[in-house]
Amino acid sequence: MSGANVVEELPSLSGLPTGGQGFVHTLRGGHGFCSRMANLGFTTGAAVTVVQNIGRGPMLVSVRGTLVALGRAEAAKVVVKTILDKVKG
């Protein structure tokens, strides 16, 4: 399997269940979105933990010691490398 499309193989933050953990891999969005997310602490390599993901409505995520509420569309643009992915390779 080629590593050329790694970003497409990794899940978005919105796909992690409550209690899921990972690291920010990349952000998919325009300059304004990426700037806002960086200001909230979502930078490459930052550890994230899903505090609440009930499948609809906003998610609660812990990043850099801060609890952040993200809408589904925002969370879908945050690509994460899960703890399990990190162990695999």
Per-residue pLDDT at 84: 64
pTM: 0.82
d(Cα 4, Cα 13) in Å, to the nearest integer?
21
Question: What Rg value do the Cα atoms of the chain yield, rounded?
Answer: 12
Residue ranges of domains in the chain, CATH in brackets: 8-80 (2.30.30.90)
3-state secondary structure of 3: coil
3-state secondary structure of 75: helix
**Tens-place pLDDT, residues 38-80:** 999 999 999 999 999 998 889 999 999 999 999 999 999 999 9
Q: Which two tokens stand for residue 85?
A: 């992915």
Looking at the predicted structure, is the pLDDT value of residue 6 above 50? Answer: no
Helix then strand count (H, E) for the chain reads: 4, 5
